[in-house]
Amino acid sequence: MTKNNPGNFFEDFRLGQVLRHATPRTVTAGDQALYTALYGARFALQSSAVFAQACGLPAAPIDDLLAFHIVFGKTVPDVSLNAVANLGYADGRFLAPVYPGDTLSAESEVVGLKANSNGKTGVVYLRSRGANQRGEAVVEYTRWVMVRKGDAAAPAPEPVLPELPAAVSAGRLAVPEGLDFSGFDFAAAGAAHRWGDYEVGERIDHGDAMTIEEAEHQLATRLYQNTARVHFNQHAESEGRFGRRIVYGGHVISLARALSFNGLGSAVKIAAINAGCHAAPSFGGDTIYAWSEVLEKLEIPGRSDLGALRLRTVAAKDLACCAFPYQAVSEEGRGGYHPAVVLDLDYTVLLPR
């Protein structure tokens, strides 16, 4: 009898099934330092304990996306080992800061299933939740992933698709306890722009770019304990669809977020992930550029010190944003994207008013 874990195939998932994921992870200052080394993020709230304390927090929290990736990584052995592609995200909320010393664990519930017409794959919808050592939820989100069938003859389940909001409303955004931007130090943040300085429809070319290195994307994915084979096994992937390893999509999200500092440096806190699509795969050697569009300005109930921006950040490979045909980015899905687009992310950030 084999003792290794072959991972779940599409026919192994059941609607309402709850998966408690293995390997709780205690986060350290070293994790944050390595994350900074990988992406070069310069947001002051996560970089400086002094800045964070001046904003009412007890210490500098780890980067919001680092917490997201650690929780995501926990889900991979149960969800994504036999995945073809991670298709999208919705209704993601960052509920509480994570500090060095906190221990994160994760569980997921299957909230939707739909077999594909080819009979070889299906789409699994999951609601995942990361919690700290006190059982407090720190991040939750829905994602959907295309998973291979292990038995092509396995009967298809009745299709069930979850109802998902187009965006997280202002009233559902979680502002960390104690966070206060009334004395926000713009000079220390390296950005002069307040919530009122941004306009709906405004587009910001973040100017800079980063090339994905094979060693770095593998190091990052291991940091999150993400075991998906497509990111590591060149021997196997040389016979696959692309002939090479695929970069973890979250690596591109973090690259785009780090690049967004140039133009959005005062947007120091991510509050929500409203939607997201990995429009095309990324590979080692790709150079990532990013631009953002302001989709909506949100007032936080009862707060005069901070507001929220709903942003759309698009990452493109090997094409500078100044040359990018913005109109070629389609809302209609994968087929309508310009071939350079690798990420289309709709998310919400907090910044001072």
Residue at 272 is within a domain: yes
Give a yes or no: residue 3 inside a domain: no
The whole-number pLDDT of residue 330 equals 54
Asked, for residue 167, whether it belongs to a domain, the answer is yes
Q: Is residue 187 part of a domain?
A: yes
Whether 5 is in a domain gets the answer no
Check residue 332 and give its pLDDT. 47
Q: What is the sign of the dihedral through the CA atoms of 72, 75, 81 and 82?
A: negative
Domain-embedded: residue 116: yes
Burial category of 305 from C-beta neighbours within 10 Å (exposed 0-12, middle 13-18, buried 19 and up): middle
Angstrom distance (rounded) from CA 330 to CA 316: 14
Q: Is residue 284 part of a domain?
A: yes
Provide the number of structural domains found in the chain: 1
pLDDT in tens, the chain (353 residues): 578 888 899 999 999 999 999 999 999 999 999 999 999 999 999 999 999 999 999 999 999 999 999 999 999 999 988 888 888 999 999 999 999 999 999 999 999 999 999 999 999 999 999 999 999 999 999 999 999 999 988 999 999 999 999 999 999 999 999 999 999 999 999 999 999 999 999 999 999 999 999 999 999 999 999 998 889 888 988 888 889 999 999 999 999 999 999 999 999 999 999 999 898 999 999 999 999 999 999 999 999 999 999 999 999 999 998 777 665 565 544 457 888 999 999 999 999 99
pTM score, two decimals? Answer: 0.94
Exposure class string for 168-184: b at 16+ Cβ within 10 A, else e: bebeebbbbeebbbeeb
CATH number of residue 142's parent domain: 3.10.129.10
Provide the residue range defining the domain that includes 41: 10-352
294 assigned to some structural domain = yes
pLDDT, position 205? 94
Q: Where are the beta strands (DSSP E) in the chain?
A: 18-20, 25-26, 83-94, 103-115, 121-131, 137-148, 203-211, 269-277, 287-299, 306-317, 341-352
